Amino acid sequence: MASYADPSSVERVEWVESGGGPLIAIPEVVLPFWTGADGDELASDYDRACEVEGPVGLLPVGNTTALVLGDEPAATSYLPEHGTFVRWSAGDPEDALPAGVPAALATAAWGREVHWEVPGTVVLFDAASSGAGATKAGHLRIALTAGRYAVRAAHAEPDPESSSVGLVRLRPLGP
């Protein structure tokens, strides 16, 4: 996991990277059920995650669902102030992110919406890893309020000459 300092604050943005496949955000309460690329099944959990088409999709894990961040194995962070996963595609993350996120959100062309029910905190990590190993290194723990979220993805270029990002926005839905 890489970290970059945001020049406008003292906080660091933590990035999760994959070995080439999708990233997955799994509710913390069902992490032990995710076997990653290992497992006794004919098709592993990682194989199931790789079958998700498009930038986002949902997979059952235990008695809940996980959010798969597909399309490309981009380094990803979560910016809670925007309720958005930011997927760094090109450019310098120290210069472009997170300062360019508001402009990217304003100009993004959003894709189809999926609804994700979460019981609370989720962990973002490489889908090839097991849930048990995900909390040791290369993960990001994200405190979400339990509930239902509308999830939409987009690609944006906050600075077309130097940066390109994927966005996955979580919007809480009312009861």
pLDDT tens for each residue of 15-62? 898 888 899 999 999 999 999 998 666 789 999 999 999 999 999 999
108 falls within a domain: yes
What CATH number does residue 105 fall under? 2.60.34
pLDDT of residue 27: 97
| Site of tokens 């199931």 | 48
Write out pLDDT tens, residues 107-161.
Answer: 888 999 999 999 999 999 999 999 987 777 789 999 999 999 999 999 887 766 6
Residue 4 maps to a domain: no
For residue 81, pLDDT over 90 is answered with yes
pLDDT in tens, 36-45: 998 666 789 9
Identify whether 124 is part of a domain: yes
Give the pLDDT band (50/70/90) at residue 2. very low
pLDDT band, very low/low/confident/very high, at 5 (cuts 50, 70, 90): very low
The whole-number average pLDDT for the span 3-7 is 42
pTM beyond cutoff 0.85: yes
DSSP 158: S
Is pLDDT of 174 > 80? no
Say how many domains are in the chain. Answer: 1
Determine the residue type at 73. P
Give me 65's structure tokens.
Answer: 């669902």
**Higher per-residue pLDDT: 112 or 93:** 112
Residue 6 has pLDDT above 50, yes or no: no
Distance between CA atoms of residues 133 and 123, nearest Å = 11
Phi, psi of 47 (to 5 degrees): -60, -40
Which segments of 12-97 does DSSP mark as H helices, in order? 45-50, 93-96
Q: Is residue 5 part of a domain?
A: no
Whether 143 is covered by a domain: the verdict is: yes
Q: Is the pLDDT assigned to residue 165 strictly greater than 80? A: yes
Q: In which domain, by residue range, is 58 found?
A: 12-172
Say if residue 164's pLDDT is above 80.
Answer: no
- Identity of the highest mean pLDDT range in 2-11, 27-36, 91-100: 27-36
